[in-house]
Amino acid sequence: MKPMGGNGWAVGVDLGGTQVRAALVDASGQVLARAAARTDAVGGPGAVLQQIQQLVAETTQGIAPSVLGGVGVSAPGPLDGEAGVILGIPTLSGWVNVPIVAWLQEALALPVRLENDGVAAAIGEWRFGAGRGLSDFVYVTVSTGIGGGVIADGRVLRGRGRLAGHIGHMTIDPQAEVCSCGNPGCWEALASGTALGQYARQQAALAPTSHLAAFGAALDAKQVVASARAGDALALELLEREARLLGIGIVNLLHLYSPELVVVGGGVSQGFDLLHPGIAQHVARRALPPFRGTPVVAAQLGQNSGLVGAASLILLPG
């Protein structure tokens, strides 16, 4: 195995259910090159590992091997980061007990590290983004689901089995819709991008004069944000509800972890400027007095939080 490269560059890989992305990242967190491919879900782990190898080769083309410190991989859980094994990816078949770190280290002849995607993105924002220099902050990603990571007392909060930070499964309303985990009313089931799209389709069907009705079954969170920007009344109402649901979950996080800052990333954060006033209002209304002033901001690295975070597993280990 190669030692850490002199300049300490690293490749961050983000293994997702629809896309595998890779980025070459320098020691200051800058993305120097990137590549992506549609996840070969049918081919199973063997095919995807080959895709990762290919993407690493593409992003490091022309780079002296001595410069490269290794590859950090961010993947959906559950996984065992210490053992380097993906235990199961619900959205990809065949991904059960895959020793991804051992396989990639063998194939790439480089050090490889593995981290849960929510935690990797939190680490990216902590090392190089909105949470830089802070010792207490919470990162929330709102996209297909809701995930995140907690930095507490200057370190990543791990918990038993390194499972801490499953913030999407906080119960927000036990009377509400059932989550993919089987429990009713999880934060993810109510406020993820998927949930926003689903609720929008229901409401649009009842409001034929709204712009949203024209999208029919294709209506998703992205179009809700775009229509709200165009002033559509139903879309604005839907975002007001979304902001309330996000605000309720964020207040829980403030009370639990007392962060200096809450950072919101993921697809839904594209509409963060529209959501922020509502979130701030619910934080001011619901949080205990000492927590009310805590800022809630958008992820600084945007869609790169996870990639940069994965690379920083190599760049700034520990």
Which residues are at the interface with Zn ion (CB under 5 A)?
A: 169, 179, 181, 183, 186
Closest contact distance (angstroms) between CB of 184 and Zn ion is 9
Q: Which residues, including other chains, have CB under 8 Å from residue 230's CB and lie 6 or more apart?
A: 211
Closer Cβ to Zn ion, 117 or 232, answer by number = 117
Angstrom distance (rounded) from CA 268 to CA 261: 18
Nearer to Zn ion, 158 or 169 (CB): 169
Measured CA angle at 269 (ends 267, 274), to 5 deg: 130
**Closer residue to Zn ion, CB minimum distance, 134 or 170:** 170
Distance CA 23, CA 147 (A): 22
Nearer to Zn ion, 171 or 300 (CB): 171
Residue 178 CB, nearest distance to Zn ion (Å)?
Answer: 8
Burial of 193 (0-12, 13-18, 19+ CB in 10 A): buried
Q: Tell me whether residue 180 or residue 300 sits nearer to Zn ion (CB atom).
A: 180
- Cβ 264 vs Cβ 142: under 8 Å: yes
Phi, psi of 65 (to 5 degrees): -55, -30
Distance of closest approach, residue 185 Cβ to Zn ion, in angstroms? 8
H or E element at residue 13: strand 9-15
Q: At its nearest, how many Å lie between Zn ion and the CB of residue 171?
A: 8
Residue placing its CB nearer to Zn ion in the complex, 69 or 168 = 168
**Smallest distance from Zn ion to CB 114, Å:** 23
CA 215 from centroid of its chain's CA atoms = 27
Q: What's the closest the beta carbon of residue 223 comes to Zn ion, in angstroms?
A: 25
- Which structure tokens are listed for 75? 């993947």
